[in-house]
A and B are shown apart, each in its own frame.
Chain A
Amino acid sequence: MIDILLMILTGIGVALFGFVLQTSIAGVNRKVVARVQKRYGPKWYQEFLDIFKLLSKRSVTHGWIFDFGVIMALGGIIGTAMFMPLTSSFMAFDGYDNFFIFVYLIAVGMLGMAMSASGSGNPLASIGVMRALTTMLAYEVPFMIVVLTIIKITGTSSLSEIGLFQQVAGNSWFFIALPIGGIVAVMALMGMLGKKPFETYIAPAEIASGPMVEYGGKQLGMLFIMHEITVFIEVSLFVHLFLGGAENIVLFIVKYFVVYTALNIISSVYGRFKIDQVVLFFYKWPLIMAITQAFIAIYLGWVI
């Protein structure tokens, strides 16, 4: 009994750590992007100020589906983050860090957000949700092919075991061992995070920030927290699957920071695709590359 309580507390601690880490790194990244654009940039803790300001504001509601969806989204995402291993040996629920757990649980949060956005009754929110689901459909297919290739090679779907497999094999990360698949994963990750070329479902100038169009005050603050934890989950997945996990927490933070900053720098020089361009793009080159990589790695056995 005490064990389970302790595990749950550790899990909440992991989620909180993820929130603080991602929010700080997002603040630093706003400064990085500002320097790319020859600006000075905000303070590094600006993201914290934004979130706490939103929580301090008054807000209106558009019915209980609207409020309940926000809580469901935040709760679902915190529940998902509780299972995330930080290093290859430290995790809240030992043995439950299966890749598919994340795939399924992250959908709870996303569905909560979609439900709440539709509950607001704004047509732009519905368009945004529809675009988000379409983008998801596009990037999931090549990403899943690459991840299944990794699972076939390692023979396990546990994140920490995959990380350990790469460390035991002499630090041959899958990002290097499966170079084509690594590139596909970077592109899919940009789609997951909604970074610039695939920013279609946010599109502030086009559909007024999509699903978030009717949120203000406390609900928007909770959605921001949810977004930060979602980014934490997705980038951590990439670190564990492709960059050899992490032996200790410092290495994890360094790898995390490098991945997120690189994505932001790539994203800061791009414009935005249209939604049909996103789908066509993901179904063309990343899909071909992913299938090629799977064929090379599984049937020919060419893994560096």
Chain B
Amino acid sequence: MLSTKFSPMSKEEVDRKWWEIGDFFRRNSLWMLMYCTGCCAIELPPAMTSAYDMERLGMGPMATPRQADVLLVTGYLSLKTLRRLIYTYEQMSEPKYIVGFGSCTINGGIYHDSHAVINQLNKYIPVDVFVAGCMPNTEAVMNGFVDLMDLIKNKKANGWKDYHERYEWYLANQKAALGEVRVHDEFHE
């Protein structure tokens, strides 16, 4: 017979419960920041408008990195763009997620031998979900978003924690490719 007496939960257990409640809200209201670097960005308008309507999943576009939850990297990243992307990613408020679109973010795609374009995005910033294809069609994009929601539900979307824990590794990779991560141009002097 189960006891009906109130037994106090430990602190870890209370934190876990709160985190699960937070996860319910977070996965049902994903606000996107679209970093439209490449051609995969053209898959987002049909996903947002009346054809696939991602607002029914609670997703919507946001204007600034501070407000957004999920960063969409749509396509190839040149070195110059990667610097700005790292700035953008570090400005977002936690918990934050990244979705990489297209084969360019996975292995370089058709730009695998270019001098200006990086090959593997998840060496530089932690990517939670990849949507493969060149370009992925809109069903695949929507499926990627649903996958991200499942990952959040199963507590596997831990890229942002990984970025804290293995920051030295990420920073070493960023420095190997970029030289220096800080932006030095006419507008940042």
Residues of chain A whose beta carbon lies under 8 Å from any beta carbon of chain B: 30, 34, 37-43, 46, 49-50, 52-53, 56-60, 204-205, 208-209, 212-217, 220
A to B CB contacts below 8 Å, 26 in the list: A30-B55, A41-B53, A41-B55, A43-B58, A46-B28, A49-B29, A53-B22, A53-B25, A53-B69, A56-B21, A56-B22, A56-B26, A58-B95, A59-B93, A60-B93, A204-B61, A204-B62, A208-B64, A212-B67, A213-B66, A214-B66, A215-B66, A215-B67, A216-B64, A216-B66, A216-B67
Are A209 and B94 in contact, CB atoms less than 8 angstroms apart? no
Count class of interface residues, chain B: 20 to 34
Closest to A55 in B: B25
Complex CA–CA separation, A41 to B53 (angstroms): 7
Q: Among A34, A204, A209, A215, which residue has its beta carbon within 8 angstroms of that of B55?
A: A34
Complex CA–CA separation, A204 to B25 (angstroms): 24
Residues of A within 8 A of B57 (CB): 42
Other A-B contacts than A43-B56, A215-B67, 13 sampled, CB-CB below 8 A, are: A34-B55, A38-B50, A39-B50, A39-B56, A42-B58, A50-B29, A53-B22, A53-B29, A57-B69, A204-B61, A205-B63, A208-B64, A214-B66
Closest to A56 in B: B22
Are B50 and A49 in contact, CB atoms less than 8 angstroms apart? no
Residues of A within 8 A of B62 (CB): 204, 209
Shortest beta-carbon distance, B103 to chain A, in Å? 30
Query: Is B92 in contact with chain A by the CB < 8 A criterion?
Result: yes
Query: Is B49 in contact with chain A by the CB < 8 A criterion?
Result: yes
Complex CA–CA separation, A220 to B56 (angstroms): 22
Q: Among A49, A212, A216, A220, which residue has its beta carbon within 8 angstroms of that of B25?
A: A49
Residues of B within 8 A of A57 (CB): 26, 69, 93-95
Closest to B28 in A: A49
Residues of A within 8 A of B28 (CB): 43, 46, 49, 53
Residues of B within 8 A of A58 (CB): 93-95
Complex CA–CA separation, A38 to B50 (angstroms): 6
Are A216 and B93 in contact, CB atoms less than 8 angstroms apart? yes
Are A204 and B58 in contact, CB atoms less than 8 angstroms apart? no
**The 4 nearest A-B residue pairs measured at CB:** A216-B66, A56-B22, A216-B93, A53-B25
Are B67 and A220 in contact, CB atoms less than 8 angstroms apart? yes
A56-B25, A60-B93, A217-B93 known; A209 and B64 CB under 8 Å?
Answer: yes
Residues of A within 8 A of B93 (CB): 57-60, 216-217
Complex CA–CA separation, A287 to B65 (angstroms): 40
Complex CA–CA separation, A34 to B62 (angstroms): 17
Are B29 and A46 in contact, CB atoms less than 8 angstroms apart? yes
A208-B63, A209-B67, A215-B67 known; A42 and B55 CB under 8 Å?
Answer: yes
Are A213 and B94 in contact, CB atoms less than 8 angstroms apart? no
Give the most central of B26, B50, B66: most A CB within 10 Å. Answer: B66
Shortest beta-carbon distance, A254 to chain B, in Å? 27
